[in-house]
Amino acid sequence: MKHPIISGALLCMAALPATTVAQTINFETQDYKSIGVYDTWENSPFRKGQLQGNVAVVDNHLTAMDSTLLIFPNSSEKILGFQRSRYGSNTFGARIDLKETFELKPEIKYVHVLINKPVSGRVMLIGLGKRKERADQSAETEQFWVISNNTVTPNQWCDAVFSIKGAGGIDIHSLVVVPDAESSHTLSSDFACYIDKIVVNDKVTSDIEREDYPINFKKDQTYTRGDRGLKAVKLQASTINVTASITQGKTRVFSDLTSKQFQVKPGQTVTPAFDYSGTWMSGYVYVDYGRDGKFSYDILPDGKPDNSDLVTYSFYKNKNSKGASVNNGNTLVQPSFTIPANLPVGFYRMRYKVDWDNIDPRGNSSNDNNILTNGGAIVDVRLNVHGDSVYVNDANRNGEVLAADGSKLNSYRIPFGKSFTIKMNPERGFTYSGIRLRHGYNLAGDSLVHSTPQYEDIIFKKSQFKKDDTFTIPAIYVDGNLEIEGLFISNTSTVVNDYPVNFDKATKRTRTDRVLNGIGLGEIAYNVANTELMYHNLTSKTFVTRQGSTVKPFVNYSAGWMNAFVYLDKDQDGDFNVEEVGAKGALTESTDLVSFSALTLSDQTRYNSAGTQLDNLNTLNTPAFKIPENLADGFYLMRYKVDWDSTDPAGRVDEQNHIVNNGGAIADIRVLVTKREKVTAKVFSNHGLLTSFDGKDLNNAELALGKGLTVLAKSEKGYKLTGLRLRHGILGGDSIANKVAQYVDTYFTADDIKGGMLQLNGGYVDGDLEFYPTFEPATAEEEAAGEYILVFDDEFNQPNGTQPDPARWTRSVRYGAAWNRWISNSNDVIFCQDGCLVARAIPNPDKSIDNVDMLTGAVETRGLYSFTYGKVEVRLRTNPHRGNFPAAWMMPQPPAEGWPKAGEIDIFEAIDTQNRAYHTIHTNWTYTLGKKNEPQSSFSENVNVADWHVYGVEWDAERITWTVDGQQVGSYAKSTDQNALDKGQWPFTKPFYLILNQSVGNGSWAANADVNHVYETRFDYIRVYQKVPTTGIIEVTSNTNNSNVVYDLSGRRVNTPSKGLYIVNGKKVYIK
């Protein structure tokens, strides 16, 4: 029985609703102003007049019938011919000047270009024009670069579709059609291409549609019933999740999951499976062995596949793919099949289909048993056919990438699926910014073969390398051959690109007293990676805001007598357009300068951008500004500049005041402007789950845009989490649009996810999220070591103005030490607000009642909760001010020896206006005997304490380790010298309790308090984790001693406990 499949194609114009046409050019008459060539490359010979370029309207000689579509796609008499020259850049194209301009608006429009060219790949469209209100702006200003939404088949007429939009008020005067945007710059010969019928309208679909791997329904078709649906597909022990739940009218029937893969070897016999909710359906699986863009499905009279791409099915005409008789089709049990032993390694398209009694890979389209009516589904994935080893090559100039042992990477063979360590070796005069890793197959060819991904490029930054210039490529990326490009950059040359600066971006600061530590917008702040540099590229980070909102920018800069300036590229043209500042600091609507702290105006008065007149320029306080209402949704580049009395976004460089000599700095970052409030998370995982902190599955979860997220990872038995890749932003399109990254891949190691928990600030939730965790087999020793389990936490989510949970916290008592000398029970110094514990130190309103200068707040868990060994994390921020002295710390649960013999563990302390966090232990050994550096017992680091950070301590029987935002900052070990132990070097063997407080200094360490100031520290949460040993029991100190009564961690009685941690007879019990 033969079933040849014909590539489906539709001329859809008759079936679609009428569209609004804004512009049409068909070249039959001169419905255009003029034609020519254009190249964005400034040194192009076509821009310098060295070459002219060939473009002309010619007779149409390409009127033949399309052999695939069986139609005549272009019967017009005239077409535009263009010679693609090998001397132009990859943005060299045919320029069409328009008779009538059209406006680039925030609403998306679509440009359709009929094109015929001899090479495959997508094409680019460039728009040239000017803003209406800028009379002096050239009409040749590049307003947009966009890649076609669809690919172009070589030597066929294709309708390339481009999505365009802008901020409004931009007139497009010319269009440039770039025929081979995906080609290299080193073409060996010219070629001719032809263009016809350019239409601007609101139609998203192509007029001529060719498609690989077609289906018999629209790809955005949703389920028409809620009782049936495909949740996952499997091959052997591997699973690819499709959806967590089926929602009628929302969940799609077809899923393109070709970013996911199953891995097999030639000659291997495998068994696929379906996780399907429903009955009376059958399963069909296909592999495109020929990699020709379609699935053949020939079968023999006995039902067995006839050397076709149909590899297994459970039921068709009362047989399965083994030829065995099947009584009815109510089965999804798939027979096994064998991968051909001679099949070349590579990626193959694999299709899973749930349908009824039909082997057509596109789906049953009959009226009586339609795949949609029956609740069927189709899922496409990749099949990775691999060998035991893969090859690694480098592709570098100005340096080389080596194996860790120094071997050159020239067809270097490594095991498939195993991590691989490399070492950077730049040439003299060069350094590196990271690597570009290409992994997969067909690395020198097209990344898509019949729309199936063949390889992926990923950037690993220098910050992820170790100090010895080595980096371990995670095993997840060793899924095929590797090509590693070292991103070697000159130590001295000036980098010239969009958003320029007036100095070499590699310039180091020349002053030690002036340092840019970080930047912020509203609630989100980021530290710079290397404070030694003048320029900071933070474009992998994001601020999130919305149109019309008022936002407050700020800089964390450790000096005075400088100014701060903030710019926003509103028209996304790759430059900051700064117009003259008006009277009293007024800014025009069209200027990209949005905020400045101080500036001398033309009349020699001094103002900030809020219109406040200043006595002098000594301020870095940038006023809040409003995001324009008319900005389109998308990512924009924002620049922070610390400089002196200059609006030049590239930096002041005159002899009198040079940004480098003055110790200034520039930092670029992305800002997402959007009206969206919710985003969607997807999780692609085998052998483990990802949930939110409250235990909800993150796959298909809706999240609040721009809000921080706590991710919990749970591995299956026998596996461990070794890393996680997070893709976040505007997904599904090009990674670069309007010269700004639209999405970013961030890689987290196991060290970043200690205890199975990862803290993501709101900057990571800047659009939809895709999580790619890696769970690898764990050794017996790793399993025996146990895993961290949350045993105590307080999120402080009580109603505003109420007190913290009395089952967890009690007020600290006033004594004579600096931190507790003014402690008060007043509700004004300890209370819950906006999901935080607020601790304050306030001026004493009535000394006649309590004769102290200030009242301070402190709470502790003494007598309510204490523990021995574990991990504590507390998220907090404080407001620096002279005399500020907040802390999160631990003391031994009584009865215990007096201080300091019993010990003290300070998780976090800060003082005064310092942007430093301190972490210390106190013992008889360090304090009484003065041996603070035997070993080092106190650590501190630069951190903007006014921002939210997670401060942690991990304590076991041998060592205490401190972390900030998951990064280790210090460690104190138990001595191996018995004499030191006898003198109190390690008293940390008994239960300790928790303390959170806002105190003020007395001049001994923190400065004397400003008794007229209100000090405040906010604690977002505190969490304690302990490792669950194989016995499932953890000893704790608790007030719960009632026999045979079970309580949860909040002290509530539980009659029927499920899996988790509970308190039983004074012990925490982990019920497995």
Q: Which residues of 102-131 are buried (b: 16+ CB within 10 A; e: fewer)?
A: bebbeeebbbbbbbbbeeebbbbbbbbbbb
| 716, HSE (Cβ side, Cα atoms, 13 Å) | 12
The answer to whether 293 touches 451, Cβ cutoff 8 Å, is yes
Cα-flanking dihedrals φ and ψ of residue 924, to 5°?
-60, -35
The Cα–Cα gap between 961 and 945 comes to 20
> Which has the closest alpha carbon to 309: 352, 261, 371, 356?
352
Query: Which strands form 709-715's sheet, in the order they lie side by side?
Result: 688-692, 709-715, 757-760
| Listed residue (213, 230, 370) closest to 293, CA to CA | 213
CA 889 to each of CA 858, 907, 991: distance values in angstroms, whole numbers, following the listed order: 11, 5, 13
Give me the half-sphere count of Cα atoms (radius 13 Å) on the Cβ side of residue 173.
Answer: 12
Helix (H, G, I), strand (E, B) or coil at 874: strand
3-state secondary structure of 712: strand
| Residues 997 and 856 sit within 8 Å (Cβ to Cβ) | yes
* 8 Å CB contact between 321 and 272: no
CA distance 801 to 505: 49
Contact 154, 136 (CB under 8 A): no
- Residues contacting 878, CB < 8 A, separation 6+: 884, 886, 910, 945, 946, 998, 1016, 1017, 1018
Distance CA(1022)–CA(860), nearest Å, equals 12
Max CA separation in the chain (angstroms): 102
For 902, other C-beta atoms within 10 Å of its C-beta total 21
Tokens of 184: 């290299």
904 among known catalytic residues: yes
**CA 63, 66, 69, 71 torsion-angle sign:** positive
Whether 182 is a known active-site residue: answer no
Q: Residue 567 contacts by C-beta under 8 Å, 6 or more apart in sequence?
A: 576, 578, 592, 593, 594, 638, 639, 641, 649
Q: How far is Cα of residue 530 from the mean position of the Cα atoms in its chain? A: 21
Residue 805, SS3 per DSSP: coil
Burial class (CB in 10 A: 0-12, 13-18, 19+), 793: middle
Residue 222 burial by Cβ neighbours in a 10 Å radius (0-12, 13-18, 19+): middle
Could you tell me the two tokens for 228? Answer: 């049936």
Q: Please state, in angstroms and rounded to a whole number, the distance separating the CA atoms of residues 143 and 815.
A: 68
Peptide bond before 4: cis, by omega within 30 degrees of 0?
A: no
Structure-token pair, residue 138: 């050239």
At residue 806, the 3 state secondary structure works out as coil
Sequence letter at residue 99? K
> CA geometry: angle at 528 spanning 526 and 531, to 5°?
150
Q: Which of 499, 763, 760, 795 is nearest to 640 (CA)?
A: 499
Residue from 182, 485, 873, 904 carrying the catalytic annotation? 904
Instruction: Please identify which of the residues 909, 958, 1016, 1035 carries the catalytic annotation.
Output: 909
What residues contact residue 1055 under an 8 Å CB cut-off, 6+ apart?
1046
Where does residue 303 fall: left (phi above 0), alpha (psi -120 to 50 degrees), or beta otherwise?
Answer: left
Catalytic positions: 904, 909
